[in-house]
């Protein structure tokens, strides 16, 4: 049996570190992994984008979560049962009211699913360009970059790959066609 002895300083550092959360969990809906990072220092939106990009899990790079369906939202509601306000990977930084995913496989895509709280997004005070989840219940809010959130959600998953046409597929088609011609020829004889 192995025992590990931690100094009081090491134990205190582990207990008070800013980026703590549960281990990533996988959603069967897309095969991606999600990790709620609780940050008592209240990371800004830009800070969360950078921190998420610096993380990896099982060989995949991290990015702020992109929620593209109600099912994915429901899964993430369960990942964040305490309803921490958490940064997500969307924004309208380039063009006001043109909400797009800023990172991950959906980078640059316009939102196809939204979960805005009543009256949001409202660009209050002329500068709310970051996407904050779990603002009012489990809904979203637009908020300015300098605001601090107690958490952010990191998603890990590669972009969907396009499967190239195997070189042997045309040959298989040709072979099946030739086989069909031979079968027809035999019937007619």
- Region of residue 104 (phi > 0: left; psi between -120 and 50: alpha; otherwise: beta): left
Note the pLDDT tens digit of each residue in 62-117. 999 999 999 999 999 999 999 999 999 999 999 999 999 999 999 999 999 999 99
The candidate with the shortest Cα–Cα distance to 124, out of 101, 147, 103, is: 147
126 contact partners, CB below 8 Å, separation of at least 6: none
Note the pLDDT tens digit of each residue in 80-93. 999 999 999 999 99
- The full set of domain ranges for the chain reads 17-162
CATH of 17-162, one of 3.10.100.10, 3.30.540.10, 3.50.50.60, 3.30.420.480: 3.10.100.10
DSSP state of 28: T
């Amino acid at each position: 049996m192995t025992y590990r002895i931690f100094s009081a300083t090491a134990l205190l550092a582990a207990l008070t570190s800013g980026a703590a959360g549960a281990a990533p969990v996988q959603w069967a809906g897309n095969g991606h992994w999600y990790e709620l990072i609780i940050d008592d220092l209240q990371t800004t939106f830009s800070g969360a984008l950078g921190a998420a990009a610096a993380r990896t899990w099982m060989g995949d790079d991290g990015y702020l979560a992109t929620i593209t369906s109600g099912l994915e939202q429901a899964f993430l509601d369960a990942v964040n049962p305490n309803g921490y306000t958490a940064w997500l990977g969307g924004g309208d930084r380039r063009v006001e009211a043109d909400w797009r995913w800023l990172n991950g496989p959906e980078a640059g895509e316009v939102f196809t699913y939204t979960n805005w709280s009543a009256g949001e997004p409202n660009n209050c005070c002329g500068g709310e360009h970051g996407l904050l989840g779990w603002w009012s219940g489990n809904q979203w809010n637009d908020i300015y970059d300098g605001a601090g959130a107690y958490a952010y959600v990191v998603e890990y998953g590669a972009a969907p790959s396009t499967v190239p046409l195997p070189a042997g597929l045309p040959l298989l088609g040709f072979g099946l066609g030739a086989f069909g011609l031979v079968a027809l020829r035999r019937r007619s004889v």
